[in-house]
Amino acid sequence: MKVFKLTLTFLAILIATGSFAQSLSNADLKSQSVKDWERAKAYTKEYLDAMPEKGVSFKPTPETRTFAEQMLHLAQANVLFAATGTGDKPIFADKNLEKTEELKTKAALLKTVMESYDFVINSIKKMDESKLADKATNDMFKLTTTRSEWLAKGFEHQTHHRGQTTIYLRLMGVTPPQEKLF
């Protein structure tokens, strides 16, 4: 009898959780996505602010990117994923940011990376949330998936590359910013 009650309780929790997850509207998902990207922008800015000017060109090993190249890669990809996810016209489409030398100063790097986050946030804000489940294709990846999945993968990508720069900061003797989960 005790096992039966525990199983019944467990099933009730699963059903309630599933119902809650299904009750999230596209507007809720869009709103949460904007909040997450705003938080990611603030967190990335803390990384950029923490790196001294001399560290912008720092390269831990010959086969890795410099700090600036990591952040420029992050910026270019932010735009690519968001443009695919929202259908908005991408900025920086005519440039390879990683290879653009004039962007490899602290001031130019900060400006460019913040512009990429502004693009993502504004593109999501003006997106019709009813299109989140629509399919979108990115020719570079030769992949078709939902618009919401493109936005999620973009968020995952920027998190990955910002995380890589933690080591760059530590090797420069800088304590990385405190994690921002909320």
Per-residue pLDDT tens over the stretch 4-58 = 454 445 444 544 444 444 557 888 999 999 999 999 999 999 999 999 999 999 9
Query: Sorting pLDDT into bands at 50, 70 and 90, what band is 1?
Result: low
Rounded to an integer, what distance in angstroms lies between the CA atom of residue 166 and that of residue 170?
6
Asked if 24 contacts 151 with a C-beta cutoff of 8 angstroms, the reply is: no
In terms of Cβ atoms closer than 10 Å to its own Cβ (0-12, 13-18, 19+), residue 108 is: middle
Sorted by where each begins, the domain ranges of the chain are 26-171
Per-residue pLDDT tens over the stretch 167-177 = 999 999 999 99
Fold of the domain spanning 26-171 = Four Helix Bundle (Hemerythrin (Met), subunit A) (1.20.120)
